[in-house]
Amino acid sequence: MKTIFFERAFNTKIEFFKTIEDIDKFIERKRGRKLRVVEIATPLVPKRGSIFRIRSYNIDKIVDEVINAEQ
């Protein structure tokens, strides 16, 4: 989807570019200014992109509990 948006917005094909730097330079030429890259920092979303806490599970204990409950 991002590729389609890029191609429509800049009237070009993504396959003409070999590197991210090539794309950056192309956009800078089209916009007439340098790109300003900033880090997005928010307390809601950690850097790895998950907004949910990942729990640690002891799968062996869970399986044992299920097996014991069935008996």
DSSP state letter for 35:
-
Tell me the CA distances in angstroms from 35 to 22, 26, 29, 42, 63, one per residue in order. 13, 10, 10, 22, 53
Q: What are phi and psi of 24, to 5 degrees?
A: -60, -45
Q: What is the pLDDT of residue 69?
A: 75
Which is higher by pLDDT, 31 or 71?
31
> pTM, whole model, 2 decimals?
0.49
Count CB-CB contacts under 10 A for residue 7.
14
Q: What is the pLDDT of residue 53?
A: 62
Q: What is the pLDDT of residue 17?
A: 93
Residues 30-70 have pLDDT tens digits of 999 998 877 766 666 555 655 556 677 788 888 888 888 76
The answer to whether residues 4 and 13 touch, using CB atoms and an 8 Å cutoff, is no
Q: What is the pLDDT of residue 33?
A: 92
Placement of tokens 């007439």 in the chain = 32
